[in-house]
Chains A and B, each alone.
Chain A
Amino acid sequence: MAAPDNIDAPPILTVEGMSVDLKVPSGMLHAVNKIDFSVRPGQTFCIVGESGCGKTMTSLALMRLLPRSAKLSATRLNFDGHDLLSLSDHAMAELRGDRLGMIFQDPMTSLNPVYTIGNQMEEVYLRHRKSGRREARERAEFMLQRVGIMSPALRLKQFPHQLSGGLRQRVMIAMTLMCEPRLVIADEPTTALDVTVQVQILQLLTKLQEEFGMAIILITHNLGIVARMADRLAVMYAGKIVETGSALDVFTQPHHPYTQGLLRCMPTHDHGAPATRLGSIPGIVPSLVGDIRGCGFANRCDYVRDACRTGDIALRELPDGAAYRCVIPPDEALARPAELATP
């Protein structure tokens, strides 16, 4: 739990009823299905779930960078006072890279191979701050120092292929922070990196968050990372958020059978070891094409009952903004024996 849980501050991001539908040959794929969450300033909000559950589509939707075949809808999508649904493309581009930044999964391919690090970092600043070249260069040098890169002046003149994966991800982070965004979305920022480098990058994100005070949406399939970083978290399954709450609540008192299953698969004694993966629960994720009747987890759930297969499963609200989506009431959900991990 890196930063204080600013439960009282108004959210910087509010997402209500957000869906992403993709047109695919076999029909309509509901990649993200009416999700709600909010992120407060300075907070680290983790979205965790197995591969294919809609994490990347969620982050691209927030950036309005979805592929052409995708349709975004929401009842409310507000970032820092801007309605992201009605914002013009131009106004959206002005937010991106300035107030709202994104770090991608693969640092090896996320930087343009034909331009120097300096060029790529400076252009963000030149675009959003309308500053002179000198100022942009100084800012880039400063940011490289902040992400722990030695001899920044030299690195600025180098091309991406001259840097290791870990260094490139540091450069990506520095580039994203050039204009001090209020919210950074990091989509599996360490998945492509060596385990030792993963830990360094996570530590760096925590340090930078203390320094610059931005909120982070950290997307991962790794519960170890969630345990280490999250203030609040949302567990996603088949395009839906099935459980959300403060990291402490969800880790100590998981209510949803899927969350419980995930935590049971997680080794108890080495938090933060980024080797912990999801997906050790038997069974397969249902197809996201077409409508799923009832609970999407039903075919893998040990507690499935008739009520699970009909209609939408209602959200059950808990204290402190926690909630889960399951037919089982809280007392019964908590009564189940489980060897749980503590965060």
Chain B
Amino acid sequence: MLRFILGRAVMLALVAVTVSFIGFGLLRLSGDLAAVLAGETATAADIARVAKQYGLDQPLYIQYLDWAGRALQGDLGKSLFTHEPVTELILARIGVTIRLAFSALLFALVFALPLGVIAALRKNTWIDRAVLTLSVLGQAIPSFWLGLLLIYLFGVILRWLPISGSDTSWHFVMPTITLGLGTMPALMRLTRTGMIDVLSSDYIRTAWAKGLHPLSVLFKHALRNAVLPVVSLSAVLLGFLLGGSVIVESVFALNGIGLLAFDSIKRIDFPVVQSILVFLSFCYIFLTLISDIINARLDPRIAL
């Protein structure tokens, strides 16, 4: 267990360095930052002055080391546009994103697990096909379109739900459905194939041969084995949800990390983008760590 955590810590450090360096390089290559900062009417002299002011005239690796050194001390710099500290910007919005990501994953799992189990039990019947069709639809519908559809239906016509903002839990209902529906199909299909696999295994035949109650066979013996890969996928999906809810956040005007990243990329707000990048990769590693620990708890064959 200790070795496992140490290993993960080393990995975390390596990924942090790699991701931040690549991110750093890509962002710098994506445009002349000094020119953008100096504004559209700036002269060449203005631009050079701005470059010098922000250290942009230095070689790339010096700039990187400079940034990394300060980041290690907890100073992620200030936004080039709002001039607020990046840490504060992120902390102010991460709550919304985390709340949305978790509720979307929960929504997805609540539907994916039972539907996957039912589809597996009724393999190759119309029920199975209906569930699969639903899952293909869920994946094919673009989230902005689904979001707009929901807004039109529940916000504009029925007026049941607020259509934008993040003030109350009600504000999260439609974003959760939008994001959750897109997340559900992969989880559902994995539950289904896992369950079909497990149900034809020898130990399930043993469970039937012991005369156990069908619910015990299905839920105690089969599902526990079938969800092992679902746990890992959930962690990956949660990572996507944390970083990839840009569209949903902008459709519903939720002030989360996704929207912040989107806006910052548009205006090449370098410190913010860079910090979000590193932050999200940390989230990823942390989530896989959690999923490995959960899997080890579910499956005694895994020794951490």
Residues of A within 8 A of B (CB): 63, 65, 92-98, 101-102, 104, 106, 109-115, 123-124, 127-128, 159, 161, 172, 175
A113 B203 Cβ-Cβ under 8 A: yes
Residue B99 at the chain A interface, CB threshold 8 Å: no
Residue B4 at the chain A interface, CB threshold 8 Å: no
Interface string of B89-103 (1 = CB under 8 A from A): 000000000000000
Residue B206 at the chain A interface, CB threshold 8 Å: yes
The binding surface of chain B is classed by DSSP as helix
B210 A112 Cβ-Cβ under 8 A: no
Interface string of B191-208 (1 = CB under 8 A from A): 000000000011101111
Residues of chain B contacted by A112 (CB below 8 angstroms):
203, 206-207, 221, 225
Interface residues of B in 195-247 (CB under 8 A from A): 201-203, 205-214, 216, 220-221, 224-225
Residue B11 at the chain A interface, CB threshold 8 Å: no
Residues of chain B contacted by A115 (CB below 8 angstroms):
220-221
Residues of chain A contacted by B31 (CB below 8 angstroms):
none
Known contacts A65-B205, A104-B206; decide if A113 and B211 are in contact (CB<8 Å): no
> Which of B205, B216, B220, B298 sits near A104, CB closer than 8 Å?
B205
B211 A124 Cβ-Cβ under 8 A: yes
Considering the chains assembled together, what is the distance between the CA atoms of A94 and B213 in angstroms?
9
Residue B300 at the chain A interface, CB threshold 8 Å: yes
> Considering only CB atoms and an 8 Å cut-off, how many residues of chain B contact the other chain?
22
B300 A96 Cβ-Cβ under 8 A: no
How many residue pairs, one in A and one in B, have C-beta atoms under 8 Å apart?
A: 73
A127 B210 Cβ-Cβ under 8 A: yes
A98 B203 Cβ-Cβ under 8 A: no
B209 A102 Cβ-Cβ under 8 A: yes
Residues of chain A contacted by B220 (CB below 8 angstroms):
115
Residue B83 at the chain A interface, CB threshold 8 Å: no
B206 A123 Cβ-Cβ under 8 A: no
CB distance from B33 to the nearest CB of A (A): 54
Known contacts A106-B202, A109-B203, A110-B206; decide if A93 and B213 are in contact (CB<8 Å): yes
Residues of chain B contacted by A110 (CB below 8 angstroms):
202-203, 205-206
Considering the chains assembled together, what is the distance between the CA atoms of A113 and B221 in angstroms?
9
Considering the chains assembled together, what is the distance between the CA atoms of A95 and B202 in angstroms?
20
B211 A109 Cβ-Cβ under 8 A: no
22 intermolecular pairs with C-beta atoms under 8 Å apart: A63-B208, A65-B208, A93-B214, A95-B211, A96-B211, A97-B211, A97-B212, A109-B202, A111-B206, A112-B225, A113-B301, A114-B225, A114-B299, A115-B220, A123-B212, A124-B210, A124-B211, A124-B212, A127-B210, A161-B300, A172-B206, A175-B210
CB nearest to A125 among chain B residues: B210
Residues of chain B contacted by A114 (CB below 8 angstroms):
224-225, 298-300
Residues of chain A contacted by B224 (CB below 8 angstroms):
114
> Which of A106, A111, A128, A159 sits near B211, CB closer than 8 Å?
A128
Known contacts A110-B203, A110-B206, A111-B206; decide if A98 and B211 are in contact (CB<8 Å): yes
Considering the chains assembled together, what is the distance between the CA atoms of A123 and B219 in angstroms?
14
CB distance from B296 to the nearest CB of A (A): 11
| A95, A110, A175, most chain B CB atoms within 10 A | A110
Considering the chains assembled together, what is the distance between the CA atoms of A115 and B225 in angstroms?
10
B206 A96 Cβ-Cβ under 8 A: no
CB nearest to A68 among chain B residues: B123
CB distance from A214 to the nearest CB of B (A): 15
Residues of chain B contacted by A123 (CB below 8 angstroms):
210, 212, 216
Residues of chain A contacted by B216 (CB below 8 angstroms):
123, 127
